[in-house]
Structures are given as structure tokens and as C-alpha cells.
Structure 1
Amino acid sequence: MHKTSRSGPLYRIASPEDAPAIARLDRTELDDAHKTRRPLDPGRLSEEMRDNRRVWALSQRGGEILAAVSITLEAENRLGKIHRMLAAPFQDNRHELLNGALALLMQELRRRDSVDVVYCTTRTVTLEQQELTLEHGFKVLGVFPSAVSADPSKLNGLSVWYAPDVLSRKRYSGFAIHPAVEPFYALARRACGLGELPKASIPRLPDLSMDLPAIERIEAPLFVAEKFRGLRERRKLSVNFYPFQTPNVLFTSPDQGIEVFAAFFPATRFAAILGEHITVSVNPIALYRALSDRLHEYGVAYIEIINDASDASSIEAILRAGYAPCGYFPCLRSDGETRRDYVVFARSLERTGDLHPAGPKPYARYLQEFCAARSSVS
């Protein structure tokens, strides 16, 4: 698919043969703002395009690629994530080049009808680049304050695009919202045109008097990933959804009655808790606090957890363990014929200074609510 004008750049969908040129463009950006990530590997890029796991849209003039935008695809959940936005540093019209490539990429996704939802975070793009997505129907649905990312600021954003009728026809809405999450749902409801949800009563957690056993860390990425895959295939994980991430660290009790999987990224000191396999009675608050301590000892400064929005009991435990909601993501996970809402939680393990609650538009309201929520759980 091509789109061009007589004097303007050519926009086209990349082929596997473009992988070396895309990798060269990527290296030109690594010299400046993106030092926290590894350079793209041409061989892997080519393989991902052949397998339809990643789609790139390019902007070029003559034979030179000037900009590129990519999306990673997860077929099982009909989910996509904006992966990279690259533009040659010497180009004065970077905004135009990226915008044109993004427009073509979204057009290609609609043509393929392969995704219901696409999201973008500033983990791999800057805030300025993310704001381009808002010109293509994406909605701001959260922030990730204090996380190290591709953007130099302490404010990091979440924007989301929905295919037509996904929110109205596929969204599961038969639940009550936890009161602490309701302010974030109210923002998402206005952005996405959703209906109101009743407020849930704050749930009473089960007996919390039992002692937590010692929690030890296993650093064996291939072993951890394979164990996670096996448990997930056998449906043995009580929490098993965090898109586009593979665990590389396992936290376990000596008898393996508690197994919690996490992904850790040393360059950004970021970790995400991805899944749990628990076969014994456990105090969930003590467990989440212990995990925070072990991760901090491991060098982590910022942790994220996502949880089904209808699971008020788990949300209450996460809150009481010191995590604050920072975003609300309708229709994130596919569940048969419906899609489930998720809440994003964050916890900073080191003092990061004050976050200005005004923040840049359109992220300000989410930042204000996060600051209020953080004060109530800290």
C-alpha cells in the first residue's frame, strides 16, 4: 500500500527486506534520547515482519527511509501496541513524516481487521510522539508517573485506540467499580463514551493473620519463561495477563506454594508483576509488600501491576499494599465474545520528588487523580 504526492514523501508498508534500513534509522536516534533501550536487530525485525507479529509503515524520499512507525500484534487478544516511532534527526518535518506513517499504519490495521484495540505508552515513544496518536482517534487513559521511559520527563502517558463498535458491542460491563478506581473510570468514561457503573462496597479481605513464608528470587530467564508458559497453558495461574511481556524473574516460597512471575528491565529499573501460581493460603497484602521489598533489593525503582477492574477484592489488596491506580483501560483483554476492563497500578520505591499535579494537557486530570490516590495509600 502506497500513499504519496508529487512533491511529498512516499508512505508505504515495510517488507522484511527493509529491516536493515530500519535498524540503521533506529541507531541514529539511540545517540540522543533513547539510551535506555537496545538497538533493533535487523534479523529479528525481518522475522517479526514475516510472521506478522510486527507491522512497519515507512516514510521515504527517493531511496532513503526518513521515518518509521511500528506496531506489535498479539493475535490471541486482537491487541496491538505502538512499538517505535523513528525519524531521522536532521529532518525539520519530523512531525509530518511520523504523522503520515502513523496514518498509513492505522489504515493498514483497519484493512486487515486484525485488532480491536491499539495502545501506546511512553515506554518506547516520547510524549511528543504519543500526542501524534491523539490525531488518529487515540484517547488518553492514564499516566505512569516517575517511570523511566523514552521521554525525559517524569510524566508518562497511555493512549488507546478502539476499532469501531468494540466498546459498544464487546465490552463486559456487568460489575461494580471499586471506589478508589472510580475517579479513573470517570475520566475513561468521558473519553470513551461509556455508561456509568455502580460503586462496589469496599470488600472485606479474608483472614490476614497467617505468617508469610520466606520469598526467594530465582534469576534464570529461560527457565522462568518456560515455567510461566507451561503453567499458563495448563490454566494454573490465578493472575496471568500482562500483554507483550515475558517474565524473567521468579519469586517463590521454599515449598513452591507461592510462585510470582515478574519482568525486570535493569536499564530503566522497571518491573511488572505478570502472574501468580499460589496453592496455599496467603496474606495478599503481605505478599505484595514482600514482593516490593525483594524487587527493590534487586534494583527496581518502579513497579506496575494490572488487574481486572471487576475484581474488587484483589484491587483492595493491591491498594493496601501501597500501590496507587494510575490508569483505566477499557476492553484490554479478550474473554470469549467480550473484552474485559483493566486497572493499572503503580508504585515508586524511591523518593522521586513532587509531581506537578497540573501536568501537560491532556494528561493533567489523570496525574491529579494519581497524586490524590498516592497520598491515600502511602
Structure 2
Amino acid sequence: MTATLARPTPHTRVLVDTAAVDDVPALRSLYHAVYGDCYPLRLGTDPVAMAAAMTDPTVKWRVARDIATGDVVGSALLRTDVPLRIGKVEGIAVDPGHAGAGIGGALLEALMESAFGAEGGLDSVYATARCVSPAPQRLLLRHGFHPLGVLPGAVTLREVETLALLVRYRDGIPANRRAPGTVPQEVAPLLEAARGHGVHFDDIHAESAPVPPRTGAGTDLDVSHDPGLVLQRYAWTPSGAARTLPLHLPNTLLASPDGRFEAYAVIDAIAGNGLLLEAHSAPDEAPEALGDVLRVMAERGADYIEAMLPLHDRTRIERHLAHGFTPTALYPAMRREDGVWHDYVLLSHTTARVDADALRVDDRFSPYVRQHSHVRPPASPNPSDTTKRG
């Protein structure tokens, strides 16, 4: 797929096409020029991972070349989960010397054609944008993305940073969504923010109910990072269960010694974050087990931890709230099951708080920033480490 872009700037023409393995050295130089030595993604720093991604049919990697010189001056990629019909935009980068020429937009539109065009097959694509400047957010907003929320302390670059979360849908989505009924009061600010952006919720009520705070029971969990074991166990799910989240496979298995509880997670110690994918337990397993999982994940470098839960599953949401999670984003129509779209809520566990004065966000994210101001920071899941995040 190729496209040209002509604009009245000193850099008037670029060619957008598919990245090739021969582009890896130039792409590494590009990401270093944009992010310095703190870029957390392997698909910008690791030559082996980059070459593998370029031959992976689930990854669409586009580059922009200066037609006059042939230099790679922009990059962006789309990771796809075709069975769940969801994609994620990553790695948008434009050479600083070519800023303002519309290159980022050209790359985005090429990826959106891959996602939603005749051969795309996706229903939604999400992306994150840094909050050190509104420019990355506005690039996505100009190209049809909508605000979903603000993720406090979600990534460590030169310092701990907050990210904005956005989504773009295929035309006609979201529609015909499941009414979740009753949700915890803590989710109400997200509902109001989403309504302000035109997302409607029928027959939904936010109710306040006491949720006693919980910590871990102090159980020493068995932890495995062996890829073969983790993925083999993860492939097995209880009868009728479906994989919860797209685009993520676990790299960590955490289990109680007696086998009555196990959880699957992604831990990225370099970026300082983690994602809790699944947790299975015996019916009478103590709810403190979730606290032990958070503690162990923090000990292994995940200071920021996310969980994505169905909005209609009030019991699971309240269990996470009791362990210090905070609702931080809402993803309407994330999954389609039995002909009906299901909304999901993203919860985060972190000791970092949103400092509204330090953030540089587009006004459309202001409701999501404000909704964090009343939230008390949770207790650290690793109390012995109180200086880790400075």
C-alpha cells in the first residue's frame, strides 16, 4: 500500500509504504531522534523484535520516506487481533526536522485504511498519547479518535508519565450495547465524561455501597516467567470462558502453592507497568489473593497495574476497588458477543496521582483529569519499597 502527501511546506512530498527489514537501522535512528534513549518499546529499539514484527501478519507497519532523499522520516504501526476485531496504534514518530508536514496524519490514515478498509476487518482501534504536550493527543483527535480516559503514571520514560487513552471506531459503532444495570458510584465520573462526548448509557445507575479496603494475606505465590509454561496454562480456560483482552499474551503466571488460585499477567519492568489479564480461583478462595498478586507484581517492577473488566460485572469491579484500583477509562463497545456490544472499564492501581497543573492535555480530556482529583492514593502493594517511584 502506498500513498503520497503533498503540502505547501519545505518537505512537500513523502511516500507512505510498508516497512521492510532493511529499514530497521533507519527506524532505530528515528526513534532515538524522537525519544532519546528512553523509548520503552522493543519495536523501536530491538532489531530482532523489529524484524520479526515486519513479517508478522498481525502487524501493519508503515513508514514515510522523503521522496527527494529516500530517508525514513516517519513511522507508525498497527497491531491487530482479528478474532476480537480490535487494533492498537503504536510507535507514531516523525523526524523532528520534518515536523509540521502532515506526516503523522498520513501514517495514521494509512493505518486506518488497513484497519477499517475493505480488507481491514477491525471494529475499533485504540491508542495512547503522552501528556507532556497536547500535540500527540490532537493528532489522534483530528483523525477520528475519541477520548476514553487518562492513565496516571502509566509508563516510565525519563520519568513517570501519564498517558491519554483514545479510540476510533468503524462507522456505525458503537450501537446495540448491553445495558450494564448498576455500577459502583466510583465509575460515575467516567460515565458523565463519556456522555459529554456523545456516548449514551441507557438504564444504567451508579450506586454507592461500602467496599471495605483489603490488602493481601501475605501468601508467598509461586511465580513463573517460563514462556512455554505460562502460555500453555493460559491457553486452557474454564468451559465457556473467552480470552478477556486483545493484543496481550501473559509473560507471568502467579499461583498459590496449593493450586487454588492463579493469575496471568504481563509485566514490563523497563516501562514500570503491568497488566492483570485473568485470575481464576476456587469458589471459597479468600479475596485477599488479589492483594498478594499486586504485591508480587510490584516487587517485579510493575508499579502501575491495569485491569480491564466488563462494565456489567459489578462484583469484580468492586473487588478490584477494594484493593486500591481506580476507574480511569471507559471503552464503550469493546467486545461483541452474541450480537451485542459490551462496554468495558479500565481500572488502574498506582501510587502516582494526576497533577493537573503538570499535565498538558487537550480540553477534551479535562473531565477525565478532574475525575482523579478526589481519589485517595491506594496503599502501595509493596510497603517496604516507598521510594521506588520518587
TM over 0.5: yes
Change (3 A) 1:124 1:335: farther
Shift of 1:317: 1.2
Query: Which amino acid is 1:76 matched to?
Result: P
The question of whether the paired residues in 2 share the 8 Å contact of 1:323 and 1:377 is answered with no
Give the whole-Å Cα distance in 2 for the aligned partners of 1:145 and 1:172: 28
What residue in structure 1 maps to residue 62 of structure 2?
A: 57
Contact 2:184/2:208 (8 A) holds in 1: yes
Q: Does 1:364 align with 2:366?
A: yes
Give the structure with the higher percent strand.
2
SS in 2 for 1:363: helix
Structure 1 residue 122: deviation in Å?
A: 3.6
Measured in 1, the distance between the counterparts of 2:132 and 2:106 equals: 16
Aligned to 1:2: 2
Task: Please tell me whether residue 176 in structure 1 is matched to residue 178 in structure 2.
Answer: no
Structure 1 position 149, deviation (Å)? 4.6
Q: Distance in 1 between matches of 2:229 and 2:240?
A: 15
What is the one-letter code of the residue matched to 1:372? H
Question: Pick from 207, 218, 222: which aligns with 2:223?
Answer: 218
- Structure 1: segments with no counterpart, 5+ residues: none
CA contact (8 A) 1:204 1:313 kept: no
1:230 Cα shift?
2.5
TM-score (norm 2): 0.82
CA distance in 2, matches of 1:316, 1:59: 46
1:320, CA displacement in angstroms?
1.3
Equivalent-residue separation in structure 2 for 1:376 and 1:254 (angstroms): 27
| Unmatched segments (≥5 aa) in structure 2 | 381-390
Alpha-carbon distance in 2 for matches of 1:228, 1:126: 42
Contact 1:79 1:117 in 2 (8 A): yes
Task: Report the alpha carbon displacement of residue 120 of structure 1 after superposing the two structures with TM.
Answer: 0.2
Measured in 2, the distance between the counterparts of 1:367 and 1:354 equals 7
Task: Confirm or deny: 8 A CA contact 2:309 2:317 kept in the other structure.
Answer: yes
- The residue identity in structure 2 corresponding to 1:35 is Y
Residue 306 of structure 1 is matched in structure 2 by 308
The total of aligned residue pairs comes to 367
2:87 corresponding residue in structure 1: 80
Q: For residues 240 and 374 of structure 1, what CA distance do their matches in structure 2 show? A: 32
Q: Name 1:25's counterpart in structure 2.
A: 27
Aligned to 2:306, what secondary structure does the other structure show?
A: strand
Closer, same or farther in 2 for the Cα pair 1:376/1:275, shift >3 Å? closer
Name 1:35's counterpart in structure 2: 39
> Counterparts of 1:60-139 in structure 2 under 5 Å?
60-62=65-67, 63-93=70-100, 96-111=102-117, 112-122=119-129, 128-139=135-146
- Distance in 2 between residues matched to 1:217 and 1:128, nearest whole Å: 44
Aligned residue identity for 2:373:
C
CA shift for structure 1 position 220: 2.3
Q: Identify the residue that residue 385 of structure 2 maps to in structure 1.
A: none
SS of 1:142 mapped into structure 2:
strand
Equivalent-residue separation in structure 1 for 2:90 and 2:133 (angstroms)? 11
1:267 to 260, 266, 270: 270
Moved more, 194-203 or 339-348: 194-203
Amino acid corresponding to residue 3 of structure 1 in structure 2: A
TM superposition score normalised by structure 1: 0.84
User: CA separation of 1:152/1:375 partners in 2, compared to 1, >3 Å: closer, same or farther?
Assistant: closer
Q: How does 1:159-308 map to 2 (within 5 A)?
A: 159-169=166-176, 171-201=177-207, 212=217, 214-232=219-237, 235=239, 240-284=243-287, 286-308=288-310
Cα distance in 2, alignment partners of residues 375 and 212 from structure 1: 20
Displacement of 1:198 after TM fit? 2.1
